[in-house]
Amino acid sequence: MRIFIALLVCTQAAAFSRRAPPTMSLLSKLRDLVKPNLPAPIKVGDAIPNVKVENVQHAYEDGYDPQEFVVDTASVLGGNKTVLFGLPGAFTPTCSDVHLSGYVREADRFADLGYDLFCTSESDRYVLGAWNRSLVDCCGLSNRNVRMLSDADAALTTALGLREDMGFGFGVRSKRFALALNDGVVTHVATDPGMDECLETSAASLLRVLDPRGAGASGDAAGVLAVAAAAALALLAFNPDLLDSLGNN
């Protein structure tokens, strides 16, 4: 019985440490979900599709009014090593608190591995610019390392086959994903379902794939604490007299 309790505690603590608080999943219950008509999802070995997006590279600067910088994805993502992560929408809780902010925090580690970071969303360039600037207030971060690509026409996410119906009030939009590329060819694909989860596509998870010897990103502090708490609870489960002995000291 004690073994069962210890395993249950460890499992729940680990799961909790990797999840953002669910806030939007109930919206998918208000109507039937639509399956968009898309090509097959991109896979390892595929080349990044060449479509036009808007480069909002300097939108973090105060007072900057983003102009229309149309670029080809084959050009900006086709050289050297790059990471492209996509998310359902700017200013949504998980996208702000976990997904984008996680990559901003870990940008130096990706740079050490030789990767340039790009974030895409189906939000327009003005929304992405405002969202990027808001990171200072919401997360205490100034982003100068993750380049923002506006895919307002959904040309990129459609070509990638990575769109999903997020439910009532949100509709079909970019799926949460993360791609690692080398010279424009995909070397790793990760996706998460819905708008709440950011597990496989997080900066910490991708770093564990790209740099397994350096596993355990600094942004995973919550996970470390949760595992430590689970270990302590497991120890107490196996040694119920330990708490009494500690209290007597």
Q: Residue 223 has which token pair?
A: 């996970």
The pTM score is: 0.73
Q: Which fold has domain 30-201?
A: Glutaredoxin (3.40.30)
Neighbours of 1 (CB within 10 A): 6
Q: How far apart are CA 140 and CA 101, in angstroms?
A: 9
| Residue of higher predicted confidence among 189 and 3 | 189
- Cβ(176)–Cβ(192) below 8 Å: yes
Active site residues: 95
What pLDDT was estimated at residue 240? Answer: 55
Q: Residue 225 carries which side chain, given as an amino acid letter?
A: L
Q: Is the pLDDT of residue 38 over 80?
A: yes
* Average pLDDT of every residue of the chain: 78
Percentage of the chain modeled with pLDDT above 90:
45
User: pLDDT (tens digit, 9 = 90+) per residue, 184-232?
Assistant: 999 999 999 998 999 999 999 999 999 988 755 454 444 433 333 433 4
User: pLDDT (tens digit, 9 = 90+) per residue, 114-148?
Assistant: 999 999 999 998 898 888 888 877 778 878 889 99
Residue 210 CA, chain-centre distance (Å), reads 15
